[in-house]
Structure 1
Amino acid sequence: MTLSLTVSDEVRALAPGFTHVAVEAHGLTNGPSTEASSRLLDEAAHRLAVRLDGRAPHEDPHMAAWRETYTAFGSKPSRTRNSAEALARRALSEAGLPRVNVLVDLYNAISVAHLIPVGGEDIDHVRGGMRLVRARGDEDFVTVAGGEETVEHPDPGEVIWRDDTGVTCRRWNWRQGPRTRLTERTVSGIFLLESLAPMPVAEAESAAAELAALLEKFSPGADITVHRPVVTGCD
């Protein structure tokens, strides 16, 4: 893997059933949402409705596990939902899923269909490796509020993804910073599929394989690799 991904021992202790599968892709072609990517989102919403069979997203066992984990590191899961639950709620609402760009549409479709948090980062904007850690509280998270760039800081003990520059995603997979987002200029990306027990590892791997196939379909000739997680500690 050209980009290193590490998970701290503190995070492993907090969520021993955590697994992440990475899909690394180079030579991608991105652009505005298309009829094809939009159709995938509609199909994902239908798959989600069948999967839930009338239940609310938070009643799914996997989403319930994420809520418990969010509570364990001090976040309120009914206010700051994990990315999969937030997308699922939108998918089932009258507004439906947002159309962002082709690459984001693809991974959002996989997230909704499989009820698994999925994030995408532009490798060319990540500095050093990516690390999943518990925050000290003084790390910089550069975001946009009211149309203006602003710097926030995570709560001490909050689970964050970060690189050498600062925080790339707050509250594990709640809010991504704009610096590493996938844009229409993105050509290399890393896609992270994050699961907790009781979701079987095989299901997370199946979702990753489906995402890899979609990336190959929408970016013919791209170099795409699915990586099983390597469990290592980090500072």
Structure 2
Amino acid sequence: MHFGHSPEIWTAFPELAAGALFAAGIGRDVSVESRIGKFNTTAQSRLAAGPESELPEIQAWRRAFSKMGLKPTQYRCASEQLLRRFRQDKALPRIHPLIDLCNAVSMAFAIPIAVFDVAHIADHLEVRHAGGQETYLTFAGEIEHPEAGEVIFADGADRAHARRWTNRQSGTSAVRDDTKAVLIVAEALHASAGQDVGKLMAALADELDAIWSSAPKIAVLGPASPRLEF
């Protein structure tokens, strides 16, 4: 299997920095509360200085959504959604240890992170423009068809595992109690994106190793090396 972005995405968004991580041996029977506290503290500190909409990482994604023809305050990237809820509620609901960890890391860096159960991905996963024939399964069990030209995460069976790029993932490859192996993707577009994505992936790999004794495979992607094989 492999993950990457289409050449058209790199051309349209040359400022993109992306990190991909593959990890196996993931299980639910662990506690991450003591691990995510430091990331939540970082998020709280950043929000104390101003709302999430003023963070350069979020502003860059808002510009990208506008470029894609989407209203940024209607369709927010995943990290903005998390930070907004965290600012309002002072906490996030617990879902799964891995998701809880990735949410905390995402908020600390203000960079969207997507987590996919690779057992439910067909052949490969690519960030590309939709053709219009792809199917997307909502968490409510409904089937949608992304519009032609929409940026999606698509697999070899023309299933969309995320819509509007970093806005909304699919229920198809969501992490569940029986998830064992995952693909984790972080993407950023701000001025220091390359450096920050590298730091995020290193921090996440350290946490996965400490919690699950995993030895993740990591790649920082770009036009010259656009793919992670796993």
Q: Compared with structure 1, are the counterparts of its residues 43 and 93 closer, same or farther at alpha carbon in structure 2 (3 Å cutoff)? A: farther
Q: State the shift of 1:70 in Å.
A: 0.8
Q: State the shift of 1:41 in Å.
A: 4.2
* 1:159 to 2:151 alignment: yes
Asked if the contact 1:38–1:99 (Cα under 8 Å) also holds between the matched residues in 2, the reply is no
* 1:204 to 2:197 alignment: yes
Tell me the number of residue pairs that the alignment of Structure 1 and Structure 2 aligns: 225
Specify the alignment match of 1:92 in structure 2.
Answer: 87
Specify the alignment match of 1:228 in structure 2.
Answer: 220
* Structure 2 counterparts to residues 1-235 of structure 1, below 5 A: 3-31=1-29, 34=31, 37-94=32-89, 96-145=91-140, 149-165=141-157, 166-220=159-213, 222-229=214-221, 231=223
Q: State the shift of 1:97 in Å.
A: 1.3
- Name the TM-score, length of structure 1 as normaliser: 0.88
Partner SS, residue 89 of structure 2: coil
Partner SS, residue 223 of structure 1: coil
Q: Structure 2: where are the runs of 5+ without partners?
A: none
Matches of 1:42 and 1:105 in 2, distance apart?
A: 11
Q: Compared with structure 1, are the counterparts of its residues 101 and 233 closer, same or farther at alpha carbon in structure 2 (3 Å cutoff)? A: closer
Q: State the shift of 1:199 in Å.
A: 2.8
Q: CA RMSD of the aligned region, Å?
A: 1.9
**Deviation string, structure 1 residues 126-146 (Cα, Å, up to 9, x no partner):** 10111111112221111233x
**Deviation string, structure 1 residues 7-66 (Cα, Å, up to 9, x no partner):** 1122122211111111111122224x74xx234444433211322443111111111110
Q: Which amino acid aligns with 1:161?
A: F
Asked if the contact 1:132–1:162 (Cα under 8 Å) also holds between the matched residues in 2, the reply is yes
Q: Which amino acid aligns with 1:154?
A: P
Q: Which amino acid aligns with 2:70?
A: S
Q: Structure 1: where are the runs of 5+ without partners?
A: none
Query: Which shifted more, 65-74 or 195-204?
Result: 195-204
Matches of 1:155 and 1:123 in 2, distance apart?
A: 25
**Deviation string, structure 1 residues 104-146 (Cα, Å, up to 9, x no partner):** 111111101111111111111110111111112221111233x
